[in-house]
Amino acid sequence: MNVRIPICGWCMHVASWAVSVYFAYQRTWKPFNPILGETYELVNHGGITFISEQVSHHPPMSAGHAENEHFTYDVTSKLKTKFLGNSVDVYPVGRTRVTLKRDGVVLDLVPPPTKVNNLIFGRTWVDSPGEMVMTNLTTGDKVVLYFQPCGWFGANRYEVDGYVYNAEEEPKILMTGKWGESLSYQPCDLEGEPLPGTELKEVWHIAETPANDKFQYTYFAHKLNSFDTAPKKLLASDSRLRPDRWALEKGDLSKAGAEKSSLEERQRAEKRDREANGGNFTPKWFDMTDEVTTTPWGELEIYRYNGKYMEHRNAVDASEAIVIGDVQSIEFNPWQFGNLSEE
């Protein structure tokens, strides 16, 4: 990529990407609770490599790292919830940062909270009213996008509007769209009005989705869950290998429930063994730092990618002695104590 995009343009594109993930928030299925030490890896998918790990069980926390030749992405994720009778507010007590390698620009993202409505009565639906703020920590530029709250009869649902501001807090680019459909941008004047001679340009729109999918998955989500995207010598801790997930995907609810209970009991037993031996859980691919950052919803301990995953992956890819075999036959094994199988 030799085309040089202005810094404000980079901010707009990264913020657009951050909005695009909200399409998945329309799903109202209960997520799987990750097992301590559980991972997910994606290698060279369109040039991007990604690794995530469940680094804490109480409180539940995950860490993730992705990179390609142009950027790195790092996240420490922790959620705070507040139950309100028939709804629950979910606060993203996390830190997300994207570093653009060529210019060394670091972008910090603070997403809006999420509200799950009609937990007990009525049709469950999800909304994310509030501000998304992405700050360029290098230059001081900022993107502020306002996610409109859904009104009566669905009024304003999905709508998101805002601006890219320079370091002097002057609007430079207006952004508008619906987080469940598409997002567009247009250069603007100091009053936030579109510049004469410019036009609204679409950054992204949702791809075609499978019709009547029982899990409301996109084609991309199905691909991520499949073994088609699994690298050779998949980590035994990888989410794709969870037996409860496999059973649920096949429609065997009874087996899925039994496997889920078995995994949870195994996790409790592993904790008892660890504590009896005076051991502490230590994440493999991320290190806990001394850094504590303040978010709008509380303090967050930061986990940092330690680089060991790429060392592991490079060693695996360079080895000619590894027998690949059937990746689906690997036993799910995130346990650090009482392992039943070797890595």
pLDDT at 108 over 90: yes
Q: What is the pLDDT of residue 325?
A: 58
Which range, of 15-29, 31-45, 147-161, 314-328, averages the lowest pLDDT?
Answer: 314-328
Average pLDDT of the segment spanning 240-263: 92
pLDDT at 323 over 70: no
Average pLDDT of the segment spanning 57-61: 92
Alpha carbons 325 and 333: distance in angstroms, whole number: 17
Q: What is the pLDDT of residue 72?
A: 97
pLDDT at 336 over 90: no
Tens-digit pLDDT profile for residues 161-192: 999 999 999 999 999 999 989 999 999 999 99
Tens-digit pLDDT profile for residues 137-157: 999 999 999 999 988 877 888
* b/e per residue 34-47 (b: at least 16 CB within 10 A): bbbbbbbbbbeeee
Q: What is the pLDDT of residue 117?
A: 92
pLDDT band at 68 (very low <50, low <70, confident <90, very high): very high
| Contacting residues for 253 by C-beta, under 8 A, at least 6 apart | 247
Q: Domain boundaries in the chain?
A: 1-335
Three-state secondary-structure class, residue 238: strand
The CATH fold of domain 1-335: Porin (2.40.160)
Alpha carbons 157 and 147: distance in angstroms, whole number: 9
Q: What is the pLDDT of residue 318?
A: 78
Q: What is the pLDDT of residue 294?
A: 93
pLDDT band at 3 (very low <50, low <70, confident <90, very high): very low
Count of Cβ atoms closer than 10 Å to residue 195 Cβ: 13
Q: What is the pLDDT of residue 342?
A: 36
Best CA proximity match to 173, nearest among 146, 200, 147, 148: 200
Q: What is the pLDDT of residue 324?
A: 53
In whole angstroms, how far apart are CA 293 and each of 18, 80, 144?
21, 15, 21
| Inter-residue contact 49 to 313 (CB < 8 Å) | yes
Q: What is the pLDDT of residue 306?
A: 97
Q: What is the pLDDT of residue 40?
A: 97
- Catalogue the E-assigned strands of the chain: 39-45, 48-56, 61-67, 71-83, 88-92, 95-100, 105-110, 114-117, 125-127, 130-136, 142-147, 159-165, 171-178, 182-187, 201-205, 286-295, 298-305
| Inter-residue contact 204 to 182 (CB < 8 Å) | yes
